[in-house]
Amino acid sequence: MERTRLMRNFRTSKSKYKNPKYFVNKNGNRWEVVEFPTNDVVCSFNSKEKAELLSEQITKNKPFGDRTLPKFIKGSSIDICE
């Protein structure tokens, strides 16, 4: 049985994705809200204004603090946000 490595400090024990940022990206005729550093699409819209509004809201009021959004919340190819 292997011994587990002891934590040295809180920085090494936290998740590797810290302080996520959200930006708007154009993909064809759709506007997508993308999460950085994971580069996952959170949601996609037909208009740029709606995508920017969601991006600003998530950036201002982070629902999960310094962690990224869980995978089940992020959008898939189906448009359910509008």
- Give 64's DSSP letter: T
Structure tokens at 49: 């204004």
Query: 34 with 25: CB under 8 angstroms?
Result: yes
**Integer Cα distance of 27 and 2 in angstroms:** 48
Rounded to two decimals, what is the model's pTM?
0.68
Q: Dump pLDDT digits (tens) for 63-80.
A: 888 888 888 888 754 444
For 3-31, write each residue's pLDDT tens digit. Answer: 565 555 555 545 566 788 999 999 999 99
Residue 68 has what pLDDT? 87
